[in-house]
């Protein structure tokens, strides 16, 4: 092993790996150098105790103490709820007792202090099996939508599906904030900020002060909203720019309306509780309006949130900053109402929010959190069977070292905020809590390699925050899964993701239902895969071939795809499921999911109405209208939220599903 390779291995950087076809690959030296440069030299801190300590309820944890305890005093644990415990110290190792309660405690050794997080032994699960819709909220519009599905629509979807259909949850796409300032970003998986929400999702009429607008202002708002509402009846692409161009000035007018004492106090309390993170987010939005989205191109003295120039800009831009903070307060209110409506409708879980892998390299979080991100590299994925050219998600990853030195506070606060008004969280590419595919900036995904993270800390904090919120956690663990990942997640009570097409044995044959995981969300598809209607006909192969996304000859790809479909059909037939039509096949495949022990079953809303267009085609940007496709039926006709209750395909599918769940497996 070369000196460079040895250094990389010591830093958790893979020097070789096995690709999706089983071939060994040696990582290029240029990649190793770029990744090591992005990791940085570290702070060089050699404190008495580590900068962060992760423990687990029911298990004793050993922590190295880097000094003679007789000189630093005893190692003391200050409990979050009050009181303290002593840690036994022997031969330079302090033992954290296994009977500490889950929570955020403090470890103190002399003058040295470190956060001590204690994760629960295991997360609880809903008592029974539940099903729910998986929805891209922007695509699901009602008569009241302004051309874009909003939080009022989410509230209505949750109420209807919970009360009338017996759904246990609604899983939505990430509602993270985009740049707010045009040009807007279509992808919910490339946000400007993951902690704060996208103002496009606001239901304007649900803002209390909207009704107090002067009559002429109300008429003007309705006049401008009218053309957007007309687009709800069209299958044409969703235009975020057009929606925000109307919503923003109306919201600005509402912002200028006086708030009653209670409302004003609530707003100020929210701003105070969010503190510096919200102020930084709002500051980025205000500065981006002046200098553009990419903070790397801003005047040099504005490129770090802690600079004097930024403090001066915050004073000058105070009105715009307060407006952005107000938008987030409204979003927090409407998110709360949506989840409360879901629970009131009888949902045991309620709203499940999705956490994207990372953020835009130019956006609010990458500016505000730059000290704990690895710059000069982006996150992606190596090639696999579906994405044969690999993926580059153009997002800066957490720096493992810097995040630990920050006590994981930015990560903890992100998870805590997302779970504030949720019954669950889905973690996209949960494999990234163990290792991430780092790609040197400007390079092809093939030029990347894996970088290892402290999974004990990242998974433990995720479980701890979910425990405190009483929420379920679903990890999207598809793709190239490292050994031990699924076992670790299951040990914490975190559910995985099981997709029918991928649940196969070593020979590529479908797994029998009894061999599926119990701790999983079972589904037929995801937002990155074809709709089931398109998968049943092989349309997705034609689309990917047209866009140059295949590495195998198209004839070979079609042959493989047809063989996969035959295997699924044969497996269904073994269990007496012999559908005739396409709709019957979709129903039969969902019926098959009920034969598995999976605790949760996700039903893609596009599948429920026979939609054929994918929401996203990985590996494309401008080649395909990703994240802009409204909900339509198999003929491309729009399906509005109000149409779903009477939609014959929806009714038939839900009956098949619920009948299957009622029967003993």
Cα-based torsion angle of the residue sequence 512, 516, 522, 527 in order, rounded to the nearest 10 degrees? -90
Tokens of 67: 């000094």
Residue with the larger pLDDT of the pair 64 and 665:
64
Q: Would 24 be classed as within a structural domain?
A: no
Q: Determine the distance from the C-alpha atom of residue 512 to the mean position of all C-alpha atoms in its chain, rounded to a whole number.
A: 30
In order of 43, 56, 79, 272, 487, the CA distances from 492 in angstroms are 32, 10, 22, 34, 9
Per residue in 509-551, pLDDT tens? 999 999 999 999 999 999 999 999 999 999 999 999 999 988 8
Cα-based torsion angle of the residue sequence 128, 134, 138, 141 in order, rounded to the nearest 10 degrees? -80
Rounded to whole angstroms, the Cα distance separating 500 from 589 reads 8
Rounded to whole angstroms, the Cα distance separating 332 from 311 reads 26
* The pLDDT value given to residue 67: 65
* Domain end marker among 119, 143, 162: 119
pTM of the model: 0.96
pLDDT at position 232 over 80: yes
Q: Would 321 be classed as within a structural domain?
A: yes
Q: What's phi and psi for 192, nearest 5 deg?
A: -80, -40
Rounded to whole angstroms, the Cα distance separating 479 from 89 reads 43
**Which residue range is the domain that position 227 belongs to?**
201-327
Q: For the chain, how many structural domains are there in total?
A: 3
* Domain CATH for 406: 3.20.20.80
Apex 355 CA angle, 350 and 361, nearest 5: 155
Answer yes or no: do 409 and 293 share one domain.
no
Answer yes or no: do 291 and 344 share one domain.
no
Q: Would 496 be classed as within a structural domain?
A: yes
* The pLDDT value given to residue 610: 97
Q: Is 459 exposed, middle or buried (0-12, 13-18, 19+ CB in 10 A)?
A: buried
Per residue in 177-219, pLDDT tens? 999 999 999 999 999 999 999 999 999 999 999 999 999 999 9
Q: Would 410 be classed as within a structural domain?
A: yes
Q: How many helices (H) and strands (E) does the chain have?
A: 20, 23
Answer yes or no: do 257 and 166 share one domain.
no
Rounded to whole angstroms, the Cα distance separating 414 from 393 reads 20
Do the Cβ atoms of 628 and 186 come closer than 8 Å?
Answer: yes
Do the Cβ atoms of 654 and 128 come closer than 8 Å?
Answer: no
Answer yes or no: do 483 and 619 share one domain.
yes
How high does pLDDT run on average in the chain?
A: 95
Across the range 250-255, mean pLDDT stands at 98
Indicate the pLDDT class of residue 73, thresholds 50, 70 and 90: low
Per residue in 448-468, pLDDT tens? 999 999 999 999 999 999 999
Residue with the larger pLDDT of the pair 631 and 508:
631
pLDDT at position 151 over 80: yes
Answer yes or no: do 588 and 630 share one domain.
yes
End-to-end CA distance of the chain: 53
pLDDT at position 166 over 60: yes
User: Quick one: which of 647, 661, 498 has its CA closest to 140?
Assistant: 647
pLDDT at position 622 over 60: yes
Rounded to whole angstroms, the Cα distance separating 78 from 71 reads 20
Answer yes or no: do 241 and 94 share one domain.
no
Helix/strand/coil percent split, the chain, to 5: 45, 15, 40
Q: Would 171 be classed as within a structural domain?
A: yes
pLDDT at position 77 over 80: yes
Answer yes or no: do 567 and 589 share one domain.
yes
Edge-to-edge strand ranges of the sheet holding 377-381: 391-392, 377-381, 435-440, 449-452
Across the range 367-384, mean pLDDT stands at 93
Place of tokens 């309620």: 350
* The pLDDT value given to residue 251: 98
In order of 155, 157, 521, the CA distances from 163 in angstroms are 12, 10, 21
Answer yes or no: do 500 and 546 share one domain.
yes
Question: Which range has the worst mean pLDDT, 62-66, 372-376, 470-474?
Answer: 62-66
User: Quick one: which of 197, 148, 201 has its CA closest to 177?
Assistant: 197
Answer yes or no: do 592 and 653 share one domain.
yes
The 10 Å CB-count burial string (b at 16+, else e) for 629-643 is bbbbbbeeebbbbee
Do the Cβ atoms of 406 and 317 come closer than 8 Å?
Answer: no
* The pLDDT value given to residue 40: 83
Across the range 278-301, mean pLDDT stands at 97
**Which DSSP letter does residue 43 get?**
-
Do the Cβ atoms of 16 and 25 come closer than 8 Å?
Answer: yes
pLDDT at position 340 over 70: yes
Rounded to whole angstroms, the Cα distance separating 486 from 401 reads 24
Rounded to whole angstroms, the Cα distance separating 182 from 486 reads 40
Answer yes or no: do 150 and 238 share one domain.
no
User: Quick one: which of 514, 490, 462, 608 has its CA closest to 131?
Assistant: 608
Per residue in 2-50, pLDDT tens? 999 999 999 999 999 988 888 999 999 999 999 999 998 765 556 789 9
**Which DSSP letter does residue 285 get?**
H
* H/E element, 153: helix 151-165
* The pLDDT value given to residue 45: 56
User: Quick one: which of 493, 513, 488, 518 has its CA closest to 503?
Assistant: 513
**Which own/partner pairs from 510-514 qualify as long-range (CB within 8 Å, at least 24 positions apart)?**
510/567, 510/568, 510/571, 512/571, 513/575, 513/592, 513/595, 513/596, 513/597, 513/665, 514/596, 514/597, 514/665
Do the Cβ atoms of 40 and 13 come closer than 8 Å?
Answer: no
Rounded to whole angstroms, the Cα distance separating 44 from 609 reads 57
Q: Would 26 be classed as within a structural domain?
A: no
Answer yes or no: do 350 and 497 share one domain.
yes
**SS3 labels along 421-462:** CCCEEEECCHHHHCEEEEEECCCCHHHCEEEECCHHHHHHHH
Place of tokens 């893609």: 604
Do the Cβ atoms of 257 and 209 come closer than 8 Å?
Answer: yes
Q: Would 28 be classed as within a structural domain?
A: no
Per residue in 353-366, pLDDT tens? 999 999 999 999 99
Rounded to whole angstroms, the Cα distance separating 10 from 3 reads 11
Report the DSSP beta bridge partners of residue 522.
498, 601
Across the range 623-650, mean pLDDT stands at 97
Cα-based torsion angle of the residue sequence 300, 302, 303, 306 in order, rounded to the nearest 10 degrees? 130
Across the range 276-294, mean pLDDT stands at 97
Place of tokens 């997709």: 499
Q: Would 591 be classed as within a structural domain?
A: yes
The SS3 call for residue 602 is strand
Answer yes or no: do 509 and 650 share one domain.
yes
Percentage above 70 pLDDT, the chain: 98
Rounded to whole angstroms, the Cα distance separating 89 from 95 reads 6
């Amino acid at each position: 092993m070369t000196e460079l390779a040895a250094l990389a291995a010591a830093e958790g950087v893979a020097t070789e790996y096995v690709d999706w076809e089983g071939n060994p690959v040696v990582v290029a030296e240029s990649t190793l150098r770029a990744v090591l440069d992005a990791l940085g030299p570290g702070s060089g801190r050699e404190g008495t105790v580590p900068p962060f300590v992760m423990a687990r309820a029911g298990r004793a944890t050993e922590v190295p103490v880097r000094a003679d305890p007789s000189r630093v005093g005893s190692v003391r644990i200050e409990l979050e709820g009050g009181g303290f415990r002593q840690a036994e110290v022997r031969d330079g190792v302090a033992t954290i007792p296994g009977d500490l309660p889950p929570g955020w405690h403090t470890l103190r050794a002399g003058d040295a202090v470190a956060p001590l997080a204690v994760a629960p032994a295991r997360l609880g699960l809903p008592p029974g099996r539940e099903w729910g819709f998986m929805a891209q909220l922007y695509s699901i519009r009602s008569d009241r939508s302004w051309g874009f599905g909003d939080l009022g629509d989410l509230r209505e979807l949750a109420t209807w599906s919970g009360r009338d259909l017996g759904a246990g949850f609604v899983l939505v796409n990430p509602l993270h904030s985009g740049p707010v300032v045009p040009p807007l970003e279509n992808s919910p998986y490339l946000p400007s900020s993951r902690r704060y929400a996208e103002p496009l999702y606001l239901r304007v009429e649900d803002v209390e002060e909207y009704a107090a607008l002067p009559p002429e202002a109300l008429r003007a708002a309705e006049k401008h909203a009218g053309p957007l509402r007309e687009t709800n009846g069209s299958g044409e692409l969703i235009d975020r720019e057009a929606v925000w161009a109307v919503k923003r000035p109306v919201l600005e007018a509402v912002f200028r309306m006086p708030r009653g004492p209670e409302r004003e106090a609530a707003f100020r309390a929210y701003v105070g509780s969010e503190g510096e993170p919200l102020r930084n987010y709002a500051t980025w939005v205000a500065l981006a309006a002046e200098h553009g989205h990419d903070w790397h191109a801003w005047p040099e003295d504005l490129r770090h949130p802690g600079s004097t120039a930024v403090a001066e800009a915050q004073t000058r831009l105070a009105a715009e900053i307060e407006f952005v903070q107000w938008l987030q307060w409204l979003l927090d209110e409407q998110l709360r109402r949506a989840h409360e409506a879901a629970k009131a409708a009888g949902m045991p879980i309620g709203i499940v929010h999705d956490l994207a892998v990372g953020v835009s390299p130019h956006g609010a979080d990458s500016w505000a959190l730059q000290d704990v991100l690895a710059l000069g590299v982006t996150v992606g994925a190596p090639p696999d069977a579906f994405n044969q050219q690999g993926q580059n998600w153009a997002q800066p990853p957490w720096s493992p070292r810097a995040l630990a030195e920050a006590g994981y506070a930015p990560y903890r606060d992100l998870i805590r905020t997302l779970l504030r008004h949720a019954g669950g969280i889905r973690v996209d590419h949960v494999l990234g809590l163990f290792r991430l595919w780092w790609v040197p900036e400007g390079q092809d995904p093939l030029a990347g390699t894996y970088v290892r993270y402290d999974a004990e800390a990242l998974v433990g904090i995720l479980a701890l925050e979910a425990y405190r919120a009483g929420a379920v956690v679903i990890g999207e663990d598809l793709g190239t899964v490292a050994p031990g990942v699924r076992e670790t997640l299951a040990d914490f009570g975190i559910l995985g993701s099981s997709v029918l097409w991928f649940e196969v044995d070593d020979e590529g044959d479908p797994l029998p239902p009894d061999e599926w995981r119990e701790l999983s969300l079972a589904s037929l598809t995801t937002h990155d895969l074809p709709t089931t209607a398109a998968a049943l006909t092989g349309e997705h192969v034609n689309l990917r071939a047209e866009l140059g996304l295949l590495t195998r000859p198209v004839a070979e790809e079609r042959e493989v795809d047809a063989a996969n479909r035959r295997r699924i059909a044969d497996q269904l037939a073994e269990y007496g499921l012999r559908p005739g039509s396409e709709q019957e096949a979709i129903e039969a495949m969902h019926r098959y999911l009920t034969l598995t022990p999976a605790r949760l079953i996700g039903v893609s809303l596009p599948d429920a109405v026979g939609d054929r267009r994918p929401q996203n085609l990985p590996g494309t940007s401008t080649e395909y209208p990703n994240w802009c496709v409204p909900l339509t039926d198999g003929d491309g006709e729009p399906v509005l939220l109000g149409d779903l209750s009477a939609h014959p395909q929806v009714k038939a599918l839900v009956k098949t599903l619920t009948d299957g769940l009622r029967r003993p497996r």
